[in-house]
Amino acid sequence: MVRFSKNLGPQLWAAFDDIKKRHDCSALAKLAPTSLVFGVWDSRATGVKIQRIVRSTIKAYNVTKAKRSATYQAAYDYTGNGMIGLDHDKGSGKNNPLSQEGFKYSLATGTHGGVLVRGDIRQEAIINLVALRTLTADINLKRYLLGLALVALSYRDQQCFNLREGCLLRAASKDDYDGTWKSVNFDGTDAPATITHDIALAYATAAVGKMTFEAPEPDEFDTETAEGWLKIEKKKRKTLAKTKHPAKAVADEAATATKQKNKGIKLGPVIENKPSQ
């Protein structure tokens, strides 16, 4: 949805392009800071991948694997609500341009379907300070992102372990609920760390005071750009997406088509009709 927003779409593409060309993540930090905290892959456009700062895994032991099938459902009925024409709804599965761009449902069959656990279930969460240090040279931005990471990992409520249908977990004890923090150093040494949610929130609040953000303006879906983008052949779309936002690509394609059309017009000789003397 954001990718084809009239204002935010081009801004987001430019933010990823800044990372790709200049290793500058400041624009993305202001538009979508959690993309830097939890990692992001701009797979449909610039191809930029950013390593996550926060990684949290829950591992189960002594398990039996299961299979499942699933359906990706678009967040909005674009064709049903007249945002995109039905003439684009052609082909099935990954060959349908609407499914390719996330405008229509997509099926996934025989995929991983969870596990039946007979042993322990353990959670391990990590804040990768090496990834944070290499992400930017801006110390204020580093502290801001660290604050977001600490708040994210220290926060607790019932939803934290409500992973999915049929997989509702709880802490095995109060000590497990609070968690055990430690600093893991590159030289092989470890040190205990005292971090609570209140401490994390205070740090993040102080860090955000050093940052400057602009309030986002209301935006809307750019139907014209989406329609024009879908009319471009798939392979060409993939190539264009790496070098320009769809709005710019559609405009350039239209300008090129107009230029070629004008070149094809042949003009005859000019005949002047002068009155006889």
User: How many C-alpha atoms does 199 have within 13 Å on its Cβ side?
Assistant: 8
pLDDT, residue 193, reads: 92
pLDDT, residue 272, reads: 57
pLDDT, residue 110, reads: 81
pLDDT, residue 65, reads: 87
Residues 6 or more apart whose CB falls under 8 angstroms from that of 61 comprise 117, 119, 120, 121, 122
pLDDT, residue 157, reads: 84
pLDDT, residue 270, reads: 52
Alpha-carbon distance of 207 to 86, in angstroms, equals 49
pTM of the predicted structure, to 2 decimals: 0.70
pLDDT, residue 276, reads: 56
How many other β-carbons are positioned within 10 Å of the β-carbon of residue 272? 4
pLDDT, residue 45, reads: 92
SS3 at position 80: coil
Regions of the chain short of the pLDDT cut 50: none
CB 100 within 8 A of CB 234: yes
